[in-house]
Amino acid sequence: MDNLINALQATIQFLQDSQDPIYSHSTVAEIIQQLEEEIVKIKNSEPIDKKRLSFLFGPTGSIQETSIDNGWGEEFLELSSVVDNYLP
């Protein structure tokens, strides 16, 4: 689970330097809050919300849209591949 935490934290770092995307369902602040909630769950040995992460990291999801609009689309692909390992 350390790899997942690291990927979520790296995503948050990219998001903190990002502007809200045009086509996202969520603002950058909302995405960060959701990722931080998942990190807390992992650290407390609680089950993660796989549907939430799938929605955020999925194709045309909020994080992908944000990454494309803010110039870190390639980095998103690397981070999402790590997250995908923990999803159904």
- Of 2, 14, 29, nearest to 64 by C-alpha is 14
How much is the pTM? 0.95
Task: Decide: 69 and 21 in contact? Cβ < 8 Å.
Answer: yes
Q: What is the pLDDT of residue 49?
A: 98
Say which residues have a Cβ less than 8 Å from residue 49's Cβ, sequence separation at least 6.
Answer: 38, 41
Structural domain total, the chain: 1
- The domain in which residue 71 lies consists of 2-84
The pLDDT of residue 25 is 83
Residues 59-87 have pLDDT tens digits of 999 999 999 999 999 999 999 999 999 99
Q: Residues 51, 52, 56, CA angle at the centre, nearest 5°?
A: 115
pLDDT in tens, 16-58: 999 998 888 899 999 999 999 999 999 999 999 999 999 999 9
Measured in whole angstroms, the distance separating CA 15 from the mean position of its chain's CA atoms is 9
Q: Is the dihedral of CA 56, 45, 37, 19 positive or negative?
A: negative
Tell me the pLDDT tens digit for each residue of 11-22. Answer: 999 999 999 988
Whole-angstrom distance, CA of residue 29 vs CA of residue 88: 26
